[in-house]
Protein backbone atom coordinates (compact mmCIF):
# COMPACT_ATOMS: atom_id res chain seq x y z
CA UNK A 1 0.00 0.00 0.00
CA UNK A 2 2.79 2.41 0.90
CA UNK A 3 4.48 1.72 -2.43
CA UNK A 4 1.29 2.63 -4.29
CA UNK A 5 0.94 5.88 -2.35
CA UNK A 6 4.53 6.83 -3.07
CA UNK A 7 3.99 6.07 -6.75
CA UNK A 8 0.86 8.25 -6.78
CA UNK A 9 2.65 11.14 -5.05
CA UNK A 10 5.54 10.99 -7.53
CA UNK A 11 3.35 10.70 -10.62
CA UNK A 12 3.14 14.48 -11.35
CA UNK A 13 6.93 14.72 -11.14
CA UNK A 14 7.31 11.81 -13.54
CA UNK A 15 4.82 13.32 -16.00
CA UNK A 16 6.56 16.69 -15.78
CA UNK A 17 9.85 15.06 -16.81
CA UNK A 18 8.29 12.95 -19.57
CA UNK A 19 5.66 15.34 -20.96
CA UNK A 20 6.69 18.80 -19.78
CA UNK A 21 5.15 21.14 -17.17
CA UNK A 22 2.31 22.17 -19.50
CA UNK A 23 0.84 18.68 -19.04
CA UNK A 24 0.18 19.29 -15.32
CA UNK A 25 -2.76 20.99 -13.64
CA UNK A 26 -2.23 23.91 -11.23
CA UNK A 27 -2.61 21.53 -8.29
CA UNK A 28 -0.08 19.07 -9.75
CA UNK A 29 2.44 21.86 -10.40
CA UNK A 30 2.05 23.08 -6.83
CA UNK A 31 2.42 19.53 -5.54
CA UNK A 32 5.72 19.20 -7.40
CA UNK A 33 6.92 22.55 -6.04
CA UNK A 34 5.91 22.13 -2.41
CA UNK A 35 5.82 18.31 -2.24
CA UNK A 36 4.88 17.61 1.38
CA UNK A 37 7.13 14.99 2.91
CA UNK A 38 4.19 13.26 4.58
CA UNK A 39 3.58 10.27 2.31
CA UNK A 40 0.28 9.46 4.00
CA UNK A 41 -1.22 12.58 2.36
CA UNK A 42 -1.89 12.69 -1.39
CA UNK A 43 0.18 15.72 -2.42
CA UNK A 44 -2.04 16.64 -5.38
CA UNK A 45 -5.20 16.60 -3.25
CA UNK A 46 -3.43 18.70 -0.63
CA UNK A 47 -2.24 21.19 -3.26
CA UNK A 48 -5.75 21.42 -4.74
CA UNK A 49 -7.16 22.19 -1.28
CA UNK A 50 -4.58 24.96 -0.74
CA UNK A 51 -5.29 26.56 -4.14
CA UNK A 52 -9.05 26.54 -3.49
CA UNK A 53 -8.57 28.13 -0.07
CA UNK A 54 -6.64 31.03 -1.61
CA UNK A 55 -8.94 31.39 -4.61
CA UNK A 56 -6.39 30.43 -7.26
CA UNK A 57 -2.74 29.70 -7.95
CA UNK A 58 -1.90 33.35 -8.64
CA UNK A 59 -3.52 34.46 -5.38
CA UNK A 60 -1.55 31.83 -3.48
CA UNK A 61 1.82 32.75 -4.98
CA UNK A 62 1.30 36.49 -4.42
CA UNK A 63 -0.14 36.19 -0.90
CA UNK A 64 1.57 37.97 1.97
CA UNK A 65 4.01 36.01 4.10
CA UNK A 66 1.64 36.06 7.06
CA UNK A 67 -1.36 34.79 5.07
CA UNK A 68 0.68 32.10 3.31
CA UNK A 69 2.39 30.81 6.44
CA UNK A 70 -0.84 30.77 8.45
CA UNK A 71 -2.54 28.36 6.05
CA UNK A 72 -2.66 24.71 7.19
CA UNK A 73 0.00 22.61 5.52
CA UNK A 74 2.23 25.54 4.55
CA UNK A 75 4.67 27.59 6.66
CA UNK A 76 7.88 29.59 6.28
CA UNK A 77 9.89 26.93 4.44
CA UNK A 78 7.24 26.47 1.75
CA UNK A 79 6.70 30.23 1.54
CA UNK A 80 10.41 30.60 0.81
CA UNK A 81 10.21 27.86 -1.85
CA UNK A 82 7.20 29.47 -3.54
CA UNK A 83 8.67 32.99 -3.51
CA UNK A 84 12.02 31.76 -4.80
CA UNK A 85 10.33 29.90 -7.67
CA UNK A 86 8.25 32.98 -8.53
CA UNK A 87 11.30 35.24 -8.49
CA UNK A 88 13.25 32.85 -10.72
CA UNK A 89 10.37 32.90 -13.21
CA UNK A 90 10.09 36.70 -13.04
CA UNK A 91 13.79 37.19 -13.67
CA UNK A 92 13.83 34.70 -16.52
CA UNK A 93 10.84 36.18 -18.33
CA UNK A 94 11.82 39.77 -17.62
CA UNK A 95 15.18 39.16 -19.28
CA UNK A 96 13.58 37.32 -22.18
CA UNK A 97 10.94 40.01 -22.70
CA UNK A 98 13.65 42.65 -22.60
CA UNK A 99 15.34 40.97 -25.57
CA UNK A 100 18.43 40.10 -23.63
CA UNK A 101 18.57 43.46 -21.92
CA UNK A 102 17.53 45.95 -24.65
CA UNK A 103 14.27 47.94 -24.56
CA UNK A 104 14.00 48.97 -28.20
CA UNK A 105 10.28 49.81 -28.33
CA UNK A 106 7.44 50.86 -26.01
CA UNK A 107 6.13 47.31 -26.34
CA UNK A 108 9.46 45.97 -25.03
CA UNK A 109 9.29 48.31 -22.04
CA UNK A 110 5.67 47.40 -21.25
CA UNK A 111 6.33 43.66 -21.52
CA UNK A 112 9.52 43.84 -19.44
CA UNK A 113 7.86 45.78 -16.63
CA UNK A 114 4.74 43.62 -16.73
CA UNK A 115 7.03 40.69 -16.01
CA UNK A 116 8.68 42.55 -13.15
CA UNK A 117 5.70 44.20 -11.45
CA UNK A 118 2.57 42.37 -12.55
CA UNK A 119 2.64 39.81 -9.73
CA UNK A 120 2.76 42.20 -6.77
CA UNK A 121 -0.34 42.37 -4.52
CA UNK A 122 0.62 45.92 -3.46
CA UNK A 123 1.79 49.06 -5.29
CA UNK A 124 5.46 49.37 -6.25
CA UNK A 125 7.33 52.20 -7.98
CA UNK A 126 10.35 51.06 -9.98
CA UNK A 127 12.79 52.33 -12.60
CA UNK A 128 14.75 50.73 -15.40
CA UNK A 129 18.01 52.59 -16.02
CA UNK A 130 19.33 52.48 -19.60
CA UNK A 131 22.48 53.37 -21.48
CA UNK A 132 22.54 55.45 -24.68
CA UNK A 133 21.47 52.40 -26.73
CA UNK A 134 18.56 51.57 -24.43
CA UNK A 135 20.36 48.59 -22.97
CA UNK A 136 19.36 47.80 -19.40
CA UNK A 137 21.93 48.88 -16.83
CA UNK A 138 19.84 48.23 -13.73
CA UNK A 139 16.29 47.60 -12.56
CA UNK A 140 15.44 49.04 -9.14
CA UNK A 141 12.34 49.13 -6.98
CA UNK A 142 12.51 52.52 -5.27
CA UNK A 143 9.53 52.33 -2.97
CA UNK A 144 6.51 50.24 -2.06
CA UNK A 145 3.19 51.92 -1.33
CA UNK A 146 0.55 54.12 -2.91
CA UNK A 147 2.00 56.42 -5.57
CA UNK A 148 1.16 60.11 -5.10
CA UNK A 149 2.82 63.31 -6.21
CA UNK A 150 3.87 63.87 -2.60
CA UNK A 151 5.33 60.38 -2.15
CA UNK A 152 7.30 60.47 -5.39
CA UNK A 153 10.69 62.17 -5.14
CA UNK A 154 11.97 63.00 -8.66
CA UNK A 155 15.34 63.94 -7.20
CA UNK A 156 15.77 60.40 -5.88
CA UNK A 157 15.10 59.02 -9.38
CA UNK A 158 17.63 61.51 -10.78
CA UNK A 159 20.16 60.56 -8.09
CA UNK A 160 19.86 56.86 -8.94
CA UNK A 161 20.22 57.66 -12.66
CA UNK A 162 23.50 59.44 -11.91
CA UNK A 163 24.65 56.54 -9.72
CA UNK A 164 24.18 54.15 -12.65
CA UNK A 165 25.59 56.61 -15.20
CA UNK A 166 22.31 56.18 -17.08
CA UNK A 167 21.41 57.99 -20.28
CA UNK A 168 17.74 57.11 -20.02
CA UNK A 169 15.13 56.00 -17.51
CA UNK A 170 11.85 54.09 -17.74
CA UNK A 171 9.89 54.58 -14.50
CA UNK A 172 6.86 52.42 -13.78
CA UNK A 173 4.32 51.62 -11.14
CA UNK A 174 1.73 48.90 -10.86
CA UNK A 175 -2.00 48.83 -10.22
CA UNK A 176 -2.59 45.51 -8.46
CA UNK A 177 -6.36 45.97 -8.51
CA UNK A 178 -6.55 45.22 -12.23
CA UNK A 179 -6.62 47.26 -15.45
CA UNK A 180 -3.82 49.83 -15.83
CA UNK A 181 -5.94 52.88 -16.68
CA UNK A 182 -3.77 55.98 -17.18
CA UNK A 183 -5.10 59.06 -15.39
CA UNK A 184 -4.22 62.71 -14.75
CA UNK A 185 -1.96 61.78 -11.83
CA UNK A 186 0.11 59.53 -14.11
CA UNK A 187 0.56 62.38 -16.59
CA UNK A 188 1.55 64.73 -13.75
CA UNK A 189 4.13 62.29 -12.38
CA UNK A 190 5.48 61.74 -15.89
CA UNK A 191 6.01 65.50 -16.40
CA UNK A 192 7.66 65.89 -12.97
CA UNK A 193 10.14 63.14 -13.78
CA UNK A 194 10.80 64.46 -17.27
CA UNK A 195 11.67 67.91 -15.89
CA UNK A 196 13.92 66.54 -13.13
CA UNK A 197 15.80 64.18 -15.44
CA UNK A 198 16.08 66.81 -18.19
CA UNK A 199 18.16 69.00 -15.89
CA UNK A 200 20.78 66.22 -15.91
CA UNK A 201 20.49 65.54 -19.64
CA UNK A 202 18.94 62.15 -18.89
CA UNK A 203 16.10 61.03 -21.16
CA UNK A 204 12.72 59.95 -19.88
CA UNK A 205 12.39 57.11 -22.39
CA UNK A 206 8.95 55.93 -21.30
CA UNK A 207 6.61 55.67 -18.34
CA UNK A 208 4.73 52.41 -17.85
CA UNK A 209 1.60 51.67 -15.80
CA UNK A 210 1.30 47.96 -15.02
CA UNK A 211 -1.85 45.98 -14.28
CA UNK A 212 -2.03 42.37 -13.18
CA UNK A 213 -2.23 41.08 -16.76
CA UNK A 214 -1.25 43.97 -19.06
CA UNK A 215 0.76 47.19 -19.10
CA UNK A 216 0.34 50.60 -20.76
CA UNK A 217 3.20 52.67 -22.21
CA UNK A 218 2.78 56.45 -22.07
CA UNK A 219 5.33 56.77 -24.86
CA UNK A 220 3.13 54.62 -27.07
CA UNK A 221 0.21 56.93 -26.23
CA UNK A 222 2.21 59.98 -27.31
CA UNK A 223 2.83 61.51 -23.88
CA UNK A 224 6.62 61.26 -24.15
Task: Dump pLDDT digits (tens) for 105-129.
Answer: 999 999 889 888 887 878 899 999 9
What span, in angstroms and rounded, lies between the C-alpha atoms of 197 and 118?
26
Q: Which residues contact 65 (CB under 8 A, 6 or more apart)?
A: 76, 79
Q: Which runs of consecutive H residues, i.e. helices, occur in the chain?
A: 2-19, 26-34, 43-54, 57-61, 65-70, 76-97, 106-117, 154-163, 184-198
Question: Which letter, b or e, does each residue of 153-191 get, where b requires 16 or more Cβ atoms within 10 Å of its Cβ?
Answer: ebeebbebbeeeebbbbbbbbbbbeeebebeeebeebbe
pLDDT band with cut points at 50, 70 and 90 for residue 164: very high
Q: Cα–Cα distances in Å, from 53 out to 16, 70, 187, 209?
A: 25, 12, 39, 30
Q: Report the interhelical angle of 2-19 vs 43-54 (nearest 10°).
A: 70
| pLDDT band at 45; cut points 50, 70, 90 | confident
Q: What is the pLDDT of residues 7-42, one digit of tens each?
A: 454 477 787 788 887 788 888 888 888 774 444 445
pLDDT in tens, 78-106: 888 888 888 787 777 666 554 457 898 99
Domains of the chain: 2-86 (no CATH), 98-217 (3.40.140.10)
Amino acid sequence: MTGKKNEKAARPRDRLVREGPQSLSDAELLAVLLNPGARQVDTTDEADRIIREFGGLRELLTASASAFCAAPGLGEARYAQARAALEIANRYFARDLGREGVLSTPQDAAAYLQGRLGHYPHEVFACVFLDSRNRILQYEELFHGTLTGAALKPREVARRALAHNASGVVPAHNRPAGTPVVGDQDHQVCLMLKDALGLLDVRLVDYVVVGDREAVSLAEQGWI
